[in-house]
Amino acid sequence: MSLYYIRFGFDGTAFHGYQTQDNELNLRTAQQELEEKLSILFREKIVITGASRTDTGVHIVESFAHFKTEQPLPEHAVRRINFMLPSDIGVSRLGLAPEGFHSRFDAIQRHYIYHIHYDKDPFLHNRSLHFPYRHLDLDKMNEAAAYLKEQTDFATFCKRNSDNKTTRCRIDYIQWSQRTANRIQFEVHADRFLRGMIRGLVGTMIKVGNGKTSFEQFKEIVASHDNKNADFSVPGCGLYLTRVIYPEALEKALLA
């Protein structure tokens, strides 16, 4: 039995997230697309395990998954699977993985970016949150972000019915920045994220940036550990998983 890995990305607009849905609605997911085409490529049923889950509409620039099969790696595997995959998903690497590799549990950090634009732009439709109101105060939002970096329990920003055994996370980097006169972005790196966490952080900090929530009120929201106090309403279209980080030696093996 051989262990393989893939590195992939997709435009999340038409996907109901990464993970296959356990229901009868047959919702389209990235995992479903990848497993279907890998099964054709290897001529047996393939089930993959991904590094991260994503919600409907969320985009992935780079993520990894692993799977096992007794079949050898087909010649020109990347080119062949990309020929089979639809245009909104692609594989950049497919090969033998280091022994014992687990795409989810071996990851030590994940990077996400959330994009917001003020002026209507059809080229940013489904790529960024259109916020057609007065500009947000990034200084206030970065004050809130700095406070979040000091925290370890993010229960306030975890959606209900999540299967997390703990709500503790370690944020290594968190920052709001001005990209252009029309665009801002939120970037956060952490060892792990809870279900809905980033959208909860973004939605709640927007209220700080537009003056609806004071910094002191924001701290009370965080301390409440009650997700009814967070705002999860921002859409997935502005959110991108940009990178999954592994220990240096493992990363070199995967990207060799």
61-103 tens-digit pLDDT: 999 999 999 999 999 999 999 999 999 999 999 999 999 999 9
Q: Where are the domains of the chain?
A: 2-106, 109-242
119 given a catalytic annotation: no
* pLDDT above 70 for 162: no
CATH 3.30.930.10 assigned to 2-106: no
* Confidence label for 111 from pLDDT (cuts 50, 70 and 90): very high
pTM for the structure as a whole: 0.94
**Catalytic residue among 55, 137, 139, 163, which?**
55
Place of tokens 């998903």: 89
At 160 the pLDDT is: 76
At 12 the pLDDT is: 96
* Confidence label for 135 from pLDDT (cuts 50, 70 and 90): very high
List the single range of 40-44, 61-65, 160-164 with lowest mean pLDDT.
160-164
* pLDDT above 80 for 144: yes
Find the mean pLDDT for residues 192-204. Answer: 96
CA 64, 65, 66, 67 torsion-angle sign: negative
Q: Which two tokens stand for residue 121?
A: 């732009």
Would you say the CATH fold of 109-242 matches that of 2-106? yes
What is the domain class of 109-242 according to CATH?
Answer: alpha beta
200-251 tens-digit pLDDT: 999 999 999 999 999 999 999 999 999 999 999 999 999 999 999 999 999 8
166-181 tens-digit pLDDT: 999 999 999 999 999 9
List the single range of 10-14, 51-55, 105-109 with lowest mean pLDDT.
51-55
Find the mean pLDDT for residues 56-61. Answer: 96
* pLDDT above 90 for 161: no
Average pLDDT, the chain: 94
CA distances (Å), 77 to each of 6, 7, 93, 115, 251, in order?
11, 13, 9, 34, 21
